[in-house]
Amino acid sequence: MRIMKILFKNRRILFLSFNKNNYSTAPKYLATLRIGEKEYRTDEYTNITPKILSYLNRNLHLKKDNPLSLVRQRIVNYFYSSFTHGGNPIFSVYDNVSPVVSTKQNFDDLLIPEDHPSRAKSDCYYINSTTLLRAHMTAHQSELLRAGLDNFLMIGDVYRRDEIDSTHFPVFHQIDAVRSQRKEQLFENHPDLDIFEPSFDRTNPHAYTNSISNPIKQSCHTLEATKLMEAQLKNHLIGMVRVLFGEDIKYRWVDAYFPFTHPSWELEIYYEKNWMETLGCGIVRNEILANAGPNNTIAYAFGIGLERLAMALYKIPDIRLVWSTDSGFLAQFQNK
């Protein structure tokens, strides 16, 4: 019987091997796969490889002097300083959450259709048919909303199958965020305005069919609430890219589609004679908020890829370099 060996210390993978080399997918004869302190059953969906497992627990976004960590800290500092209450930051940060998630977390909770191509085995690293390595940090959004959190940043490594080249790698890092507001917060100076249309019953939100056929807003939301949240979202994100790239940076908004937000946009900046996508964002679908708890808020969300920003800011020519442990490479980022 062939055996896979994995050695761990302090929850880190130190050694992983099969008795046969060069598997492109996990062998089908293995009944279980151990990741960290937990064993997972394997099945016909299992396609996670030893090489991908070796990247778990590297936490580049938390490593001193790593360019990803530097960008992360600058973004966190911006939100800490821009959003305070009583002198304290209102955004909480979750930057060390396990990348192992359920398909419900990664897809169902975010209204991603069952036939959506992002669910394909060719796109994701599946541990089994119901468990995978997260494909985006948004996978943790619903659980944090259910915990009663209103404003939070989710930061970590994400995994998508991809051909490796100078700008693509199957492991990369994201900052995703949610900011929620109740009526009295959003319309502090206009108590006569409301988040929801009169036809929407917030005590029974699941009885309402929330349409996204209108490109301007979700049918449950008032135009005033949507436009005010849109203005806040765009203002906050423009402020962030100005902190990173300078006050004079040129930018533009591009209409986009994401299953979990509507309306949705991408923010592009004009950098080194090219338009560069920096993030995606939008107004969170109300169904997600209703499924997570009391439906009395409207929220915006955004997602940022750290590698793309770090490569631009620090002139890194190849995405693979961010994984380097070479002291010479890392030394150039000291005191940045």
In-domain check, residue 93 = yes
Across residues 26-49, what is the average pLDDT? 85
Exposed / middle / buried, residue 9 (Cβ in 10 Å: 0-12, 13-18, 19+): exposed
Residue with tokens 């062998």: 27
Note down the domain range covering 276. 59-99+134-331
Distance, in Å, from the CA atom of 156 to the CA atom of 154, rounded to the nearest integer, reads 7
In-domain check, residue 315 = yes
pLDDT of residue 335: 73
Contact status, residue 172 vs residue 157, Cβ threshold 8 Å:
yes
Contact status, residue 93 vs residue 6, Cβ threshold 8 Å:
no
Residue 69 sits at the vertex; the CA angle it makes with 66 and 74, to the nearest 5 degrees, is: 130
Side-chain-side CA neighbours of 137 within 13 Å: the count stands at 26
Q: How confident is the model at residue 30 (pLDDT cuts 50, 70, 90)?
A: low
Of 177, 124, 126, which is closest to residue 150 (Cα–Cα)?
Answer: 177
Does residue 12 register a pLDDT over 50?
no
Omega of the bond leading into 205 within 30 degrees of 0 (cis): no
Does residue 234 register a pLDDT over 80?
yes
In-domain check, residue 44 = no
CATH number, domain of 171, equals 3.30.930.10
Greater confidence, 34 or 262?
A: 262
Q: Are strands 38-41 and 12-18 parallel, antiparallel or unpaired?
A: unpaired
The residues, any chain, with a CB within 8 Å of residue 249's CB and separated by 6 or more, are: 241, 242, 269, 270, 271
Residue with tokens 């949705």: 264
pLDDT of residue 295: 83
Q: Kindly report the backbone phi and psi dihedral angles of residue 313, in degrees, each rounded to the nearest multiple of 5, phi listed first.
A: -70, -35
In-domain check, residue 10 = no
Q: pLDDT digits over 94-143, tens only?
A: 999 999 999 999 999 999 999 999 999 999 999 999 999 999 999 999 99
Q: How confident is the model at residue 5 (pLDDT cuts 50, 70, 90)?
A: very low
Contact status, residue 71 vs residue 313, Cβ threshold 8 Å:
yes
Note the Cα 194 to chain centre separation in Å: 29
The residues, any chain, with a CB within 8 Å of residue 163's CB and separated by 6 or more, are: none
Q: What proportion of the chain, given as a percentage, has pLDDT over 90? A: 83
In-domain check, residue 207 = yes
pLDDT of residue 331: 87
pLDDT of residue 157: 98
Does residue 33 register a pLDDT over 80?
yes
Side-chain-side CA neighbours of 325 within 13 Å: the count stands at 2
Note the Cα 165 to chain centre separation in Å: 22
pLDDT of residue 226: 99
In-domain check, residue 45 = no
Does residue 27 register a pLDDT over 60?
no
pLDDT of residue 3: 41
Q: pLDDT digits over 135-162, tens only?
A: 999 999 999 999 999 999 999 999 999 9
Does residue 1 register a pLDDT over 60?
no
pLDDT of residue 87: 86
Q: pLDDT digits over 264-292, tens only?
A: 999 999 999 999 999 999 999 999 999 99
In-domain check, residue 17 = no
pLDDT of residue 28: 53
Confidence (pTM) = 0.89
Q: How confident is the model at residue 8 (pLDDT cuts 50, 70, 90)?
A: very low
In-domain check, residue 285 = yes
The residues, any chain, with a CB within 8 Å of residue 240's CB and separated by 6 or more, are: 75, 78, 79
Query: Average pLDDT, whole number, for the chain?
Result: 91
pLDDT of residue 135: 98
Helices 67-82, 223-245: axis angle to 10 degrees equals 130
Q: How many domains does the chain have?
A: 1
Does residue 59 register a pLDDT over 50?
yes
